[in-house]
Amino acid sequence: MANQKYQEIQGLSIEELNTELAELQEEYQKLQFDHATTGLDNPLVIRERRREIARVKTELRKREMGEMSEAQLAKRSKIRQRRSKK
């Protein structure tokens, strides 16, 4: 099931991913508010929305990394190395 959702996400353009992300985040906030005030019939829906948001963000980051040049990737690696030394 998650594999099918991932394939659907891969088929979307960047603009579609951004709109999907905004919709999912809005729905997630609404679910959290509803759960805090009246409660939900199935609170596991909140977890599912959070995971869908993570899937979309992961795909956006993957595409962002794919568009980076070699110099940008090398610079990123140096930053990560510095952070790991702390």
Whole-model pTM: value is 0.80
Q: Which amino acid is at 71?
A: A
Domain span at 10: 2-85
Instruction: Say whether 58 sits in a helix, a strand or coil.
Output: helix
Count of the separate structural domains present in the chain: 1
Cα separation of 35 and 12, whole Å? 30
- Is there a contact between 52 and 24 (Cβ–Cβ < 8 Å)? yes
For residue 73, the model assigns a pLDDT of 79
Question: Mean pLDDT for each 10-residue chunk of the chain (86 residues)?
Answer: 79 93 97 93 94 95 88 77 72
For residue 51, the model assigns a pLDDT of 95
pLDDT, tens digit, for every residue of 7-18?
A: 888 889 999 999
